[in-house]
Structure 1
Amino acid sequence: MLSEASRIHDRAWVTQCALSRICGGCAMSLGRPIAFLGTPDEVARNAFHLPPMHLACAQELASGPGADPSWALVTTAGFEFVRPAKEDVDREPRFEPNSLL
């Protein structure tokens, strides 16, 4: 599963997951549903910074040591990968689910 939890915050890894459509937890190809973990603010904005994951990988990360109890799990059938523009307030790459389940 996740060899290093910190890797899911690495910008290069996040981008690779997006472009290759692989799970941020196990690096295997994504199917459906796709799961995102995020803060209450990310859920409200529908914009997540952690990479997409299999549902089981996201559940494992959410319940593992060091997990933030405020994280919410959102499932979707698809997402858009947004690379920030210079004028964006949020300078991190993000994922915007487009078909919430």
Structure 2
Amino acid sequence: MYTACAVTLGSVAVETGASLSGYARREWVLFVAMALVPGVVGHTVLNSALRYVRLTAVSVSLLCEPVASTFLALVLLNEVPGAVTVLGAAVVLVGIAVTTRTRSG
């Protein structure tokens, strides 16, 4: 699946004339890291978790991604989230807790 997605995305980039060159080495390292860590490793872990964890728990855990990204932006980039973002994160975390504590599913 990862290969099919990469080929499709590459084909669309070439077809639309998007520039695939001219980036510095640092950017290429970041591109590869973003593809491997969250893409391949992250999704592979989620798919593997389905063997051991209920589907509802795995699917709702995906909602943690923007919450974790917001936290990382705060810690690594000193970007302070607004009140609405913090409230939204709290709602998401409470929703995850409620969903994962239920017995059905």
TM-score under structure 2 normalisation? 0.22
Higher strand fraction: Structure 1 or Structure 2? 1
Higher helix fraction: Structure 1 or Structure 2? 2
Highest CA radius of gyration, 1 or 2?
A: 2
